Amino acid sequence: MKDFVRGSSIQVISTRYGGALRDRYETRLVDYSESAVRLYVPAGTAMFGPDDRPVEPAEVAALEVYFTDRWYNVIHWANRITYKDLWYSNVAMPAEFDGSSLRWVDMDIDVACQGDGPLLVHDEDEFQENIEIKGISPELVERVLSARDEVMRLGKLGMFPFDHANQIQLLRELQEG
């Protein structure tokens, strides 16, 4: 297996199901083990949107966790202006990671948790609309809904990668760093 160097620049490219660009930006590799890829996004990181034009830079630093074998990813923030102490999970196809870029496909459904608050599911209506519009197969629909349920289960238990306090501690270490 290829050696991955902590701090290496990693380009994150996400698309919507069907191939349209969602966003892209540069991050720094924190670690890669088995199937988990953790990335650090410094505050102020340049972000590019669907038309590949610059959008607002990253509001605050984030720690992102992607998987090459799971159908979701997780973003941890500690000090966002709009939401304090938040993790946000995108239900997504497993990421493709080659050591210099990480690509993932957003499947619309998201789950978020602020502080000790409840887990909230977002955009299920958008996913339902896209089932017909984009011709998403029943098998893929089942896989996406199963991933949503896994995020809800692990999120309630606070198990990795939803162990928010541990991930925020690492994020703060990276910021000091």
- Give me the CATH number covering residue 54: 2.40.380.10
pLDDT digit of tens for each residue in the chain (177 aa)? 466 889 999 999 999 999 999 999 999 999 998 899 999 999 999 999 998 899 999 989 999 999 999 999 999 998 766 666 789 999 999 999 999 999 999 999 999 998 778 999 999 999 999 999 999 999 999 999 999 999 999 999 999 999 999 999 999 999 997
Comparing CA positions, the residue from 147, 97, 103 lying closest to residue 124 is: 147
Give me the domain span that covers residue 171: 9-176
Q: Which pLDDT belongs to residue 161?
A: 97
Residue 135 lies in a domain: yes
CB 81 within 8 A of CB 57: no
Q: Which pLDDT belongs to residue 79?
A: 77
Comparing CA positions, the residue from 129, 151, 159 lying closest to residue 141 is: 129
Residue 1 lies in a domain: no
Does the pTM surpass 0.85? The reply is yes
Comparing CA positions, the residue from 43, 20, 81 lying closest to residue 176 is: 43
Which H helix or E strand runs over 161?
Answer: none
Phi and psi based region of residue 66 (left: phi greater than 0; alpha: psi -120 to 50; beta: remaining): beta
Q: Which pLDDT belongs to residue 1?
A: 43
Q: Which pLDDT belongs to residue 80?
A: 66
Residue 3 lies in a domain: no
Q: Which pLDDT belongs to residue 86?
A: 85
The span from the CA of 177 to the CA of 171, in Å, is 10
Residue 90 lies in a domain: yes
Residue 60 lies in a domain: yes
Domain count within the chain: 1
What one-character DSSP code corresponds to residue 83? S
Q: Which pLDDT belongs to residue 83?
A: 64
